[in-house]
Amino acid sequence: MRDTSIEAFESFQSKAATLRAAVRAAFRTGEPLTADEVADVLGQSVLSIRPRVTELANNDEIEDSGNRRRNASGRNAIVWRERWKTDLFA
């Protein structure tokens, strides 16, 4: 692998982790949000935020609230909310 490829990968990993933490913080406000709304709150591109929302959902940190709102493209989008831990000792 080329050194430039390694450098690009490491830079991406760092930025993804930072964005993931920012998305997590946005949900900790308690307000359910769509990925587009999170992007607006954070002043980031939705293309950078949607994958971070998916990662948090896959890690069971956020969950589908059951509600939908229109996003910028006019389509229905999942309204996500922070997932409450039911087992405090897990």
Per-residue pLDDT of the chain (90 residues; tens, 9 = 90+): 666 655 555 555 568 889 999 999 999 999 999 999 999 999 999 999 999 999 999 999 999 999 999 998 999 999 999 998 665 565
How far apart are the C-alpha atoms of 12 and 48, rounded to whole Å? 11
Which domains occur in the chain, in start order?
A: 3-82 (1.10.10.10)
Instruction: Catalogue the long-range contacts made by 28-31 (C-beta closer than 8 Å, 24 or more residues apart).
Output: 28/82, 30/82
pTM to 2 decimals? 0.79
How far apart are the C-alpha atoms of 23 and 61, rounded to whole Å? 11
